[in-house]
Amino acid sequence: MFALTDAPIDDAAVRRAVETTAAGAVVVFHGTVRDATKGRRVRFLEYEAYPAMAVAQLRALAGAVTAAHGLTGLACVHRVGRLALGETAVVLAVSAPHRGAALAAVDDFIVRLKRDVPIWKKEHFEDGAVWVGSPDDPQGERASAGRRTETNR
């Protein structure tokens, strides 16, 4: 299961997509909208994506992470559109024979999703808005760390 949606994510469905009797561990990660970034109060977020390419890259990324960590399953659904504080932006479910592989795969997948998948985040603050990864981004240290700035989240 790999999808973009403008509706709340059914996390139970994402989990069910990876459940198998071969899995000794199932990890479900929720990325949520926080209320502040670098001391600036966040009002809401907006996500935009290039849907066909984003879903294709989610699938390709899942294949690479599954192979690298020996997973039995991986599923990811990401929101697009306007999200309020506390809402879930992404749900990732990973299953593996052992917890170490599942936990490592979650971090690996999320880092690579933010770097490589064409989904963009705009943070709306009390005093304006910025696209994450732009020169005005309060999380700008990510851009200076050598990542492709147009897709950082």
Residue pair 94/26 in contact by the 8 Å Cβ criterion: yes
Provide the pLDDT for residue 132: 86
The per-residue pLDDT for range 98-118, each reduced to its tens digit, is: 999 999 999 999 999 998 999
- For the chain, how many residues are written? 153
Question: Where are any strands of DSSP class E within the chain?
Answer: 2-5, 25-32, 36-37, 40-49, 73-79, 81-84, 88-96, 119-125, 128-131
Strand bridging mode 88-96 / 73-79: antiparallel
Determine what percent of the chain is predicted with pLDDT higher than 90: 82
The per-residue pLDDT for range 116-129, each reduced to its tens digit, is: 999 999 999 999 99
Q: What region does 100 belong to: left with phi over 0, alpha with psi -120 to 50, or beta?
A: alpha
Question: Bigger pLDDT: 134 or 150?
Answer: 134
* Non-local CB neighbours of 24 within 8 Å, separated by 6+ positions: 96, 97, 98, 99
Q: In the predicted model, is pLDDT for residue 97 greater than 70?
A: yes
The DSSP code sequence of 69-109 is HT-SEEEEEEE-EEEETT-EEEEEEEEESSHHHHHHHHHHH
Residue pair 60/66 in contact by the 8 Å Cβ criterion: no
Q: In the predicted model, is pLDDT for residue 92 greater than 80?
A: yes
Which residue segments constitute the domains of the chain, with CATH numbers given? Answer: 2-151 (3.90.1170.40)
Return d(Cα 99, Cα 133) in angstroms, integer: 32
The per-residue pLDDT for range 54-78, each reduced to its tens digit, is: 999 999 999 999 999 999 999 999 9
pTM for the structure as a whole: 0.86
